[in-house]
Amino acid sequence: FDGIFPVPHPDCKPTPPAKLTEEQQQKYEEVFEHFKSQKDFPVSLKPEEKRREPLSDWEKLRMVSKESMLRYLRATKWDVRQAKRRLTETIAWRREFGVENLNPEEMAKEARCGKETVLGYDKYARPVHYMHPHRSDTKESPRQMQFAVFLLERCIDMMPPGVEQLALLINFEHKSRNPTSIANAKLMLYILQNHYVENLGVNWSVNVPWVFKVFWNAIQPFIDPVTKNKCHFDDPVRNQVPADQLSADFGGDVKSAYDHDAYWPALLRITKDRRDAMLRRFKEDCNSEIGASEWVIRGGDDPN
């Protein structure tokens, strides 16, 4: 494939948000008032680093939107103290990791082989993040993890109004030239579970070899039950993603050969345009305020 699908199939609709109970609304307001009252936040998770900085407009729209605060509340089973702590830690982690400063030119060195891509949407309008481990042609390094985070961010850029999650599709066909170590897998799980809270909607893995099942059993103790229940092995994917937006190696109609020189610039251009539009709406329609609606930020109408 040589491009991406900028919008979901017309028949694909997001799941409507659940209405908050009175108690949940009260807890959300506690978290909202906390972040609204904070003037600055830590720049690192390291205890020896005491420096703090105010949130940028981009950090506000990405990390302290209404939906983001609700995601952390749900992830902590509506424990206000834990939700405030974990969201603050994510802000610090993103700054320390340099999420907003990852260089697309450096990331292209990892992207060129086509091992990870963003392409199309599933039946709930969630952007699809593909992984083909056998295509990896680089050795394990910090840049590999930076690239994985970079692609997660681009997936989030592609979410339409009303969508907060992505679908992860992994094809284990063929032997990987550079298999992922348990240490790197644990790090990726840590990042997903702690700093992309509730962003993973579902994972479908196909052509799963026995060696991966051994690997899966080794890392299961580090996987929370909610994440574990989202993972499906060798289940049919074609009825989950429209065929005209699904890669052929998962049973779809989109050719699976990867054309980096066409795909990569298109992904960068479309996601940059989306981020620019989100930031403009956040400033103009939401007055750059904490607790803004992601529906509005993404170009939709506030459901409330």
The 10s digit of each residue's pLDDT in 121-145 is 999 999 999 999 889 888 889 999 9
Instruction: Specify the pLDDT at position 160.
Output: 96
Who has greater pLDDT, 14 or 174? 14
User: Residues with Cβ < 8 Å from 191, sequence gap 6 or more?
Assistant: 145, 148, 149
The angle at the Cα of 34, spanning 194 to 164, to the nearest 5 degrees, equals 40
Confidence band for 217, pLDDT divided at 50, 70 and 90: confident
Pairing of strands 166-171, 127-131: parallel
* pLDDT at 176 exceeding the cut of 70: no
Instruction: Specify the pLDDT at position 75.
Output: 94
Instruction: Specify the pLDDT at position 79.
Output: 98
Instruction: Check: pTM over 0.75? Answer yes or no.
Output: yes
* pLDDT at 19 exceeding the cut of 70: yes
244-265: average pLDDT: 92
Q: Could you give the 3-state DSSP secondary structure of residue 121?
A: strand
pLDDT tens digits, residue range 26-77? 999 999 999 999 999 999 999 999 999 999 999 999 999 999 999 999 999 9
Confidence band for 178, pLDDT divided at 50, 70 and 90: low
Q: Which two tokens stand for residue 148?
A: 């994985």
Pairing of strands 41-42, 116-121: unpaired
Confidence band for 294, pLDDT divided at 50, 70 and 90: very high
Neighbours of 98 (CB within 10 A): 11
Instruction: Specify the pLDDT at position 238.
Output: 86
* pLDDT at 304 exceeding the cut of 80: no
Residue in the structure block whose two tokens are 């702590």: 85
Instruction: Specify the pLDDT at position 201.
Output: 94
Confidence band for 177, pLDDT divided at 50, 70 and 90: low
* pLDDT at 280 exceeding the cut of 80: yes
The dihedral region occupied by 109, where left means phi > 0, alpha psi between -120 and 50, and beta the remainder, is alpha
Interatomic CA distance for residues 129 and 155, integer angstroms: 7
Instruction: Specify the pLDDT at position 187.
Output: 86
**Mean pLDDT, the chain, integer:** 91
Out of 19-28, 165-174, 206-215, which region has the weakest mean confidence (pLDDT)? 206-215
Instruction: Specify the pLDDT at position 175.
Output: 65
Angle between helices 142-157 and 182-195 (to 10 degrees): 30
Q: Which domains does the chain have, with CATH numbers?
A: 22-100+267-297 (no CATH), 105-258 (3.40.525.10)
